[in-house]
A and B are shown apart, each in its own frame.
Chain A
């Protein structure tokens, strides 16, 4: 492959992979606490529509507007996630059903589209966007420029988050206790760890990150509101959590791999390669299916270390 083409694909893999990573990192936190969240797609779309609205309506400097929009998206995502936590942790509902309901309720042709309608966000393009930066003026450096110095602020944030998240999960006391809650809530409870609190907080944190991922679509990728604009990114993110073995670093790599698959279509088309677009667009999903099938095998399940209590509500006075 032509090295120039390779760089273009790598740079855009990072671009497309960024929102996937946010949502998947959120999934890592949520699942590490033992809660399965299939509502990611819905949370991303809610994040996307609230970010678009804020970007259109909040005044002040462009930077300020974008910052507010991102915060609003995270807040919206976490509010939706708190509903999920209420269903799964407090009411001990079936987590698969609860997550699916949230995606159906909030996703495309659901709440997000309704908000878009009443707020009329789809009518104007978002002008206050999350734009690519020219870091230290090095963006035009060959090879290194597009790879490292020409990303949006959110991509740099995601790199920092990846490092902090690894540190948090594997080096701090709270991280250790979080993982204990996801592995064996009985043990955590007996050691005086508040299982309900950990599950709520990390489910909501997951929702906030999904919202942030959604905002990346409406403020950077598209950038305007389009119904169902994430086009299944939430589902890819859920697969990524597994693909990344519930570890932030591997999840980041996985996100870029899927980002590359997504960008392949756009890049190749623009260079008039003769591959049907639909085939290219389907690639990430084909890959998702392949990954999920591979990791669902008995062998994989034993080895890859899914949190043992994932998807299981915790009840104290039960045997």
Chain B
């Protein structure tokens, strides 16, 4: 019988308005890769933040190697040998890799000896087969490399239990493979790995045992060899899910182009080229899915079309009429609607009321204002209608949107964007972070809009989403569109390869 490394019993953590962990039981054995599986919002990150001392549990006990512990801070958890690679990296961007690795380590001497630190970090990286230059600055690294730095950090601190929170979310399939090898090398040395994910396939391929969380509760723990993706999916969502293509009343017409980009270039915030000669068209009523690992130019693509970022070359046209470069108002006037990735801060004014947010796009029209004065009563009526139509759950239209849940925030945004009768909608990760019910509603709205003739550019990392909604799929890799194909012919494997930089021929 294997020894227990970590045992968490009856863990409860409440946040204002939500119980993120509701009596979680979780036990991990020494030397295993133990997957923690659950949908977005199931409470996985919260549980691991409790284990690493970042949050204090409201109830429950934690045992490490059989004895009860209580971590007041990340430091005490680190000292006890628990290290975490966060979903959102905790790295100091202007620092070098080596500086990040030694940060906070009690064994670092008062006067830093850069030479020997660099050497030791390089050695450690080599031992686990992780290619990364200790002298490079973090901001110069790819996401995959940054993740390796995160892992090096906890290994350098001598962690015996490593927690990785959705480590593959930002990786290409090839980088993910390399990560799995590193994890194996670590368990072979007797370290314990807790691998958090909501992706069934990779959990099946990397773990020894799996614990499934649902709505903050433990559903159960199973040995990987005794289970199947289907069973796991059932445990995860509480009902068996079939992934199916959306039903369309009016399939889109690719030939009747509403949005066209010709050789579009643009730079990212650092001034490096983010888009390299992008060509893409969206037809009337067509949904074009843009697949790709985040950070390959998707955000810049969306912003350039929405007029929030200036292109440095090329042409963007709506129904063949060029749109003024880098002018959001021109894009709106031209008929572009935009659901940005960061909906609460880029898409909406978080502190403002639901009704004000809903009026944000057409308050200038004679319908909502005259002589620069707002017609408040009409704004309220309009908002009431939209709240009903889009089934937004809010106490009233005067409530600030930041108080709404994620799904309802997204509904407010969609309601506003569609209220301007757009010709084109650019939607960036429109369902990320939403619960299952809200995801369904959002997807239904997108399909409905397409049926009514709106051309939709759907940017998403979620292949399932793209494959079930899109008529046509393009793949983005390093700022270029590397493939353009009808959705019906595409397979997950092929898309996965393309997203990882394989050529179209090689992916067939």
Contacts and interface: CB of A to CB of B under 8 A. Distances in A.
Interface of A: 171-174, 176-177, 179-180, 183-184, 186-194, 302, 305, 308, 316-317
Interface in B62-109: 73-76, 78-79, 84, 86, 90-95, 99-100, 102-105, 108-109
B100 to A, nearest CB: 8
Contacts of A193: 75, 103-104
B308 interface: no
A173 B109 contact: yes
A187 B111 contact: no
Interface in B37-54: 52, 54
A40 to B, nearest CB: 25
9 contacts: A173-B111, A187-B90, A187-B92, A188-B92, A190-B74, A191-B75, A193-B103, A305-B94, A308-B93
B91 A187 contact: yes
B270 interface: yes
Nearest to A167: B111
B459 to A, nearest CB: 22
A302 B270 contact: yes
Interface in B408-445: none
A196 to B, nearest CB: 11
Interface residues on B, range: 20 to 34
B55 interface: yes
Given A176-B99, A190-B54, A192-B74, A184 B108 contact: no
A84 B411 CA distance: 42
Contact of A173 (B54, B86, B110): B110
A176 B78 contact: no
A171 B104 contact: no
Given A190-B86, A192-B78, A184 B153 contact: no
A305 B91 CA distance: 16
Contacts of A174: 110
Given A176-B103, A191-B153, A305-B94, 15 more contacts: A171-B111, A172-B110, A173-B102, A173-B108, A173-B110, A174-B110, A176-B99, A176-B102, A179-B92, A183-B93, A184-B91, A186-B90, A189-B74, A192-B78, A192-B104
Nearest to B106: A192
Contacts, number: 80
A317 B95 contact: no
B1 interface: no
A2 B381 CA distance: 77
Q: Which 7 A-B pairs give the minimum distances between C-beta atoms?
A: A192-B75, A191-B104, A187-B90, A190-B90, A192-B104, A183-B92, A193-B104
B78 A180 contact: no
Contacts of B90: 184, 186-187, 190-191
Contacts of B241: none
A299 to B, nearest CB: 9
B388 interface: no
Contacts of B18: none
Nearest to A182: B92
A281 to B, nearest CB: 38
Given A172-B112, A173-B110, A177-B104, A191 B93 contact: no
Nearest to B104: A191
A173 B105 CA distance: 9
Contact of B103 (A172, A191, A302, A317): A191
A192 B256 CA distance: 58
Contacts of B54: 189-190, 316
Nearest to A317: B55
Contacts of A192: 73-76, 78-79, 104
Contacts of A173: 102, 108-112
Listed residue (B78, B102, B104, B271) with the most chain A CB atoms within 10 angstroms of its CB: B104
B84 A190 contact: yes
Nearest to B91: A187
A184 B93 contact: yes
B110 to A, nearest CB: 5
Listed residue (B76, B95, B109) with the most chain A CB atoms within 10 angstroms of its CB: B95
Contacts of B73: 192, 194
A184 B104 CA distance: 13
Nearest to B269: A302
